[in-house]
Structure 1
């Protein structure tokens, strides 16, 4: 008798524990969900779900790693107890998703409601944008992944080594830490490259970077590898600098000449100048036709010769800053700019000079004629916010002895567990394609229609 009482008590206790769980279970069942990748046109999110009553709400939320906001969509469907539906994310239309480069990674989830008020949210599922038009070869470690489809293993290994070298300079010499992993896709033909690019890309584009996604796309064939190696390093430098100093909503606060000058400086392991840029630069020194740095603060000239001079001049100024005053000071300047300092304010804090004074110090170093500086007081520019999404740059006073250990993948974005009400509209679309334009690889409409033909082996791509 006593044993029966004990058993009965145990059964009742278990029932108390399990009953709330059973009652809390939603009758909504997800039969299947899938993702169809159709790059470069679209990717389609599919779902099949059932419930005891009509399903009336179906919402898809999609995130990309490295982007602070997700996008929410409500696909059209007929309310029913058994629903098959999907959402077609277009890579060609901002209003239907927007362009995402190959290599983009993220997560998605479905939110489902029925007539009885039952709610079900699927666990987050991972996805990756893939270009399946080519059979890719890959070479990677924890920090860099190189993908190419034309050329042998030695070709890919050379790109991989150059990318690691360029990254190491930024990590060790300029002490930029917590660099997110980068993916580099090498397209061998112009047609293949433009098929993979965002719609309406300029026809002279030779490379694109997407720092928010950690992706670089370059157009060069194995026979044009000299240009390609420089282009890879150039774009990698931009991607790393932009991801550290420009946040999701803020502008890049470094002067344009510094951004491009550093990218050219880091194109080779020995920091040798680009031949065609150097020719234009030396000619301008002889003719006293150098461009004032202030005119290069926001953008470079559209004229091809003036643009080439701008790159050569910017390279020379950055070389002067690093080799005359030391990499530690240059790293300190990047720290200041990461906090949103205006160009002149950052230079004053680290070098004790504004852009005009720095320019004359540089001119004196290279033997060029000094430029007369106006004594008129310039307006003080308000610092531009950077809205950092990563940790600050490390203090430049202590240089690491080894490359900083990166995270296994880009930091995931924290989001609310429960989706917003059904009336919510799609969140802001992914970054506009123009945000990835590089002044180095993507530069110059018409630059080197003549002079760059030699370097590009007759190709129409541009650095």
Structure 2
């Protein structure tokens, strides 16, 4: 009985203490239905290719001091933080236009932008909106989409069956190359299809668009964002999509903050993963072997500048990747990419996996193809070639010793102009075709192709 009475008194005391504490607490803390800052509306709108427009309308019990937007671009790990413009008050409408039509600020179409707004008032209250996703779609067209797993293909116009084919090509490529590279295939990949070159040019980065007006760009991968664009109007669309999506997988499997994947490995793997490859690279490789024009591609930092050499480079790169997988299988390639990703230089990584550095691997591969070994130039023994400079002669109106008349100069220049238009292996024909490339493909048309069997 006494115990029950004590228990009753204790309960009453606890209730009184709790009521007192609740009474002393600030109203703003317990009244969740009336926060000091309220967001009335907000939005993010794609105005691709120019940029993204962010808008917020908010109110507060005191003046709003700052409104910022925090957003993440695709799969890029770092984010962007920008302040919006507005006139200070307790109720404001703020706006920010984030430009993407520069080379540094470029964002590819269909990239997912995840954003949130942060608002602070003069009483140091802070409010953040829930994260929202914006598809940064090309605002010039009305888009439809087809999806499977983590791959989404955007298209416009009556080409849904074509889009479904591209989608299946990419799914098949991921299934084939995932085990080879050890890359993540469950992260989103966004694809935009353009029906003609004119449409696609304005969707590319500024520098690429300038080049594209001279050369037809079939596709482009944006590795960090996990996006790619494909020109769907041509016959090479399937192969282009397969090649470009493999670049994204290469990046995920082997990208390093210390050094980038070398071009020969990046392009070689992309062509190895291409489920609809063309024949030109194989023919170019045969031509290079027969004419002793193989490039030292494992030692080249970038792609060559000559059109013929670019085709040969791609053929060599695919062939040596086939050879490496023939030697050590998929496990060897996965191990090589992981070592590279962890910062190991290429010679050390190759030696660890294949027992050969770049030079030894190059010559083992050349021997397998029946080509001559590569002998690096001996820089220590090389000597600079003397350059002869022409004697400077004065122009005169009347002939004299050691001088040159104006008429002689004009005749000489005309002769040079005439000579420069004569045909050669590197000149352009009347139709604009490169005679060197034409002659190469006439030669390689009679050759077969060599390849290595894939080893699991």
- Matched-pair contact (CA < 8 Å) for 2:195–2:232: yes
After superposition, what is the alpha-carbon deviation per residue over 1:379-421, rounded to whole angstroms, capped at 9, x for unaligned? xxxxxxxxxxxxxxxxxxxxxxxxxxxxxxxxxxxxxxxxxxx
Q: Which has the larger radius of gyration?
A: 2
**Residue 244 of structure 1 aligns with which residue?**
253
Q: Distance in 1 between matches of 2:76 and 2:323?
A: 35
TM-superposed deviation, 1:149: 2.4
- TM (norm. structure 1) is 0.72
1:149 aligns with 2:153: no
Report the equivalent of 2:61.
Answer: 52
Aligned ranges for residues 225-244 of structure 1 at < 5 Å? Answer: 225=235, 227-244=236-253
Partner of 2:394: none
- How many angstroms apart in 2 are the aligned matches of 1:189 and 1:43? 25
Within 5 Å, give how 1:64-463 maps onto structure 2: 64-93=73-102, 98-150=105-157, 152-177=159-184, 179-201=186-208, 202-203=211-212, 204=215, 205-221=217-233, 224-225=234-235, 227-247=236-256, 249-252=257-260, 254-268=261-275, 274-296=278-300, 298-372=301-375
- Pick 1 or 2: higher relative contact order, CA cutoff 8 A, min separation 6: 1
How far is 1:342 from its partner? 0.9
C-alpha change, 1:148 and 1:9, in structure 2 (3 Å) is: same
Aligned to 1:461: none
SS at match of 1:63: strand
Q: Is the deviation greater in 326-335 or in 10-19? A: 10-19
CA distance in 2, matches of 1:15, 1:234: 70
Quote how far apart the aligned CAs of 1:250 are.
4.5
Structure 1 residue 259: Cα displacement: 1.1
Shift of 1:15: 7.3
Distance (Å, rounded) in 2 between the aligned partners of 1:211 and 1:21: 51
Aligned 8 A contact 2:64 2:88 in 1: yes
The verdict on how the C-alpha distance between 1:289 and 1:237 changes in structure 2, with shifts beyond 3 A counting, is same
Shift of 1:258: 1.3
Cα distance, 1:322 vs. partner?
Answer: 1.5
Seen in structure 2, the aligned counterparts of structure 1 residues 33 and 153 have a Cα distance that, compared at 3 Å, is closer
Residues 91 and 99 in structure 1, CA contact (< 8 A), matched pair in contact too: yes
Unmatched runs of 5 consecutive residues or more in structure 1: 378-445, 456-463
Residues 74 and 226, structure 2, Cα contact 8 Å, conserved in 1: no
Distance 1:52 1:325, change over 3 A: closer
Deviation at 1:153, TM superposition (A): 3.7
Matched, 1:20 2:57: no
Which residue of 42, 47, 60 corresponds with 1:33? 42
Separation (CA, whole Å) in 1 of partners of 2:180 and 2:120: 54
Post-superposition offset of 1:245: 1.9
CA distance in structure 2 between the partners assigned to 1:27 and 1:213 by the alignment: 37
CA distance 1:192–1:27, shift in 2 (3 Å): same
SS at match of 1:193: helix
Alignment partners' CA distance in 2, 1:176 and 1:62? 26
Unaligned runs of 5+ in 2: 1-7, 381-427, 442-456
Distance 1:155 1:118 in 2: 52
Give the secondary-structure state (helix, strand or coil) at the position aligned to 2:152: strand
Q: CA deviation at 1:244?
A: 2.6
Deviation at 1:369, TM superposition (A): 1.6
